Structure 1
Amino acid sequence: MISLMMVRLPELIIVLYALSILFYFIDFIGQNRKASQLAFRLLSIVWLLQTIFLFFYMFHTGRFPILTLFEGLYFYSWVLITLSLAIHKISKVDFTIFFTNIVGFTIMTIHAFAPGQMPSMADQLISELLFIHVTMAIFSYGAFTLSFVFSILYLLQYKLLKEKKWFKTLWRLGDLKKLERMSYVLNVIAVPILLLSLILGLQWALIKLSVFQWYDPKIIGSFLLIIIYGIWLFLRLKREFNGKRLAIWNCAAFLILLINFFLVSRISTFHIWYH
């Protein structure tokens, strides 16, 4: 029964997730508040089902599911939905939840086709330090993703204002100052979380691994991310760049984050259990 549920539940989640995004898209192009409300209810159901699946998976495996690419993608998707629902309630910026969950649905779809088996090495290397390291890293990635979404909304709003296209969508995107501020706050939260995650990961590697390479692509890529986002924060604080240039920089940084997460992890010897 549990095995059948673990097979069928993700299929139901993807269908409901797709319907939610469809209704958000209808609201986006037609300013349909009923479609938006229905989409929000469907997304809430998706979050509930994802949470249930997460607990069933934990019960089935006897551990927190973050040690493989298959598990990490699912948890990343769950984090995105959780943060987007929370921020939607707090910020009241329309379309934030729509753009965030386009990313979340993509991650969930990739997860559905990712290999789900866990190498035996993951069992051998598991520890509380590794658990904290991976969990913090994924939460930081979730915050960076939302920051990217706010930058996309900023650029879209900026373009509409520049072209003097006055229609309802313009007002629902939120003012530029608020969008830029939310993007900044999320990066301020994400950068120290990622830095602490890297420190814990390095400490775990020094303790657990017999051979440790500082020049591993994953380590270099992760610290490169810290530097890029650190420069972004510095420029923002010093007011060296205007909002548009900061938004473009933030979008470019997020693309590097995706490369680091999907590509660099594949060629890393440091994250050999995460393939």
Structure 2
Amino acid sequence: MAPLYELSILLYIASILLYFIDFLQQNRKANETAFWLLSVVWLLQTLVFAFRIMETKRFPILTMSEGLYFYAWLLITLSLVINRLLRVDFIVFFTNVLAFFILAIHTFVPSSQSPAIAERLVSELLIIHITLALGAYAAFSVSFIFSVLYMLQYSLLKRKKWGARLWRMADLAKLDFLSYVLNLLGLPMLLLGLILGVIWAYIQLDHFRWYDAKVLGSFVVLLVYSIYFYKRVVRQMQGKAIALWNIGSFLFLLVNFFLFGSLSKFHFWYA
């Protein structure tokens, strides 16, 4: 599968470059070509993922490397679906810049664990926990992209930059709403994922610690996004203020995923 993976990376780079050309020059032909290249990338990466399932005889998300690959695949899938259903320009470009960053990290992360650890971690409960958590991260990631686009659109309008790029973006209300909907999907997935993770830890681990950096960080992420909904639903906060809160929430999510994950004594399979 290595040649397929390498080919997908090369096509991925070409796709992102074409999206960047479209972003700068409003080139619809470059946009269409980039979309179809990205579709091929998605197909190749799906084949690699399916081969990995057959090779390991499990759902391959139990190591840091596998988790990052699945996370990037989810982002690509979401961007393609959103682009086809909602026709929001630039969302694919920004989402896939983030996905490529995740894949780049995946390339340098060790891809295997000892057989004893791998066997001990094969648990349906654990797999559901990780799948829900990564699904939530993917939803939060695309929500973050919509908030970034909102701030870009807001800035262009405020400075009265009436260019073609402005008209190709969705209006502010739509960007705000889509960001909200994706967070609405992500929060319950994260909550359920954390509940299942705690249950699994109590069943399988001898020394589960609530004060572990990754555990505490994950619950703070849950709290931060819960505050987002409190501000949005109860206090009726919209627009620039809630977009900035959403951007800050996602940046903390990244800190939790990478920094707190590396400090954790509990998520040892991500080491």
SS of equivalent residue, structure 1 residue 27 = helix
CA distance in 2, matches of 1:252, 1:10: 33
Which residue matches 1:109?
Answer: 104
CA offset digits 1:175-198 (Å, max 9, x no partner): 000000000000011000000000
Which residue matches 1:73?
Answer: 68
SS of equivalent residue, structure 1 residue 165 = coil
What amino acid maps onto 2:98 in structure 1? V
CA distance in 1, matches of 2:234, 2:169: 26
Which residue matches 1:178?
Answer: 174
CA distance in 2, matches of 1:167, 1:110: 35
Contact 2:58 2:122 (8 Å CA) reproduced: no
Q: How many residues align?
A: 270
CA distance in 1, matches of 2:238, 2:173: 11
CA distance in 1, matches of 2:183, 2:144: 9
- Aligned residue runs from structure 1 range 198-217, under 5 A: 198-217=194-213
Q: Does 1:12 align with 2:7?
A: yes
Q: Does 1:46 align with 2:57?
A: no
CA offset digits 1:169-219 (Å, max 9, x no partner): 001111000000000000011000000000000000000011111111111
Deviation at 1:239, TM superposition (A): 4.1
Deviation at 1:263, TM superposition (A): 1.4
CA offset digits 1:227-273 (Å, max 9, x no partner): 10000111011345341111111111111111111111111122111
CA distance in 1, matches of 2:129, 2:263: 20
Contact 2:228 2:246 (8 Å CA) reproduced: yes
What amino acid maps onto 2:50 in structure 1? F
Which residue matches 1:122?
Answer: 118
Superposition CA RMSD, Å: 1.0
Contact 2:60 2:67 (8 Å CA) reproduced: yes
CA offset digits 1:57-85 (Å, max 9, x no partner): 11111111101111011000100001111
Q: Does 1:261 align with 2:253?
A: no
CA distance in 1, matches of 2:143, 2:62: 25
Which residue matches 2:224?
Answer: 228
Give the counterpart of 1:30 among 10, 22, 25.
25
Gapped runs of 5+ residues in structure 2? none
CA distance in 1, matches of 2:36, 2:187: 32
Gapped runs of 5+ residues in structure 1? 1-5
Q: Does 1:56 align with 2:60?
A: no
Which residue matches 1:146?
Answer: 142
Deviation at 1:114, TM superposition (A): 1.4
**TM-score relative to the length of structure 2:** 0.97
What amino acid maps onto 1:139 in structure 2? G
CA distance in 1, matches of 2:107, 2:195: 31
CA distance in 1, matches of 2:127, 2:234: 36
CA offset digits 1:79-110 (Å, max 9, x no partner): 00011111111211100111000000111111
What amino acid maps onto 2:17 in structure 1? L
Q: Does 1:273 align with 2:269?
A: yes
SS of equivalent residue, structure 1 residue 56 = helix
Task: Percent identity, please.
Answer: 55
Contact 1:14 1:109 (8 Å CA) reproduced: no
SS of equivalent residue, structure 2 residue 16 = helix
**TM-score relative to the length of structure 1:** 0.96
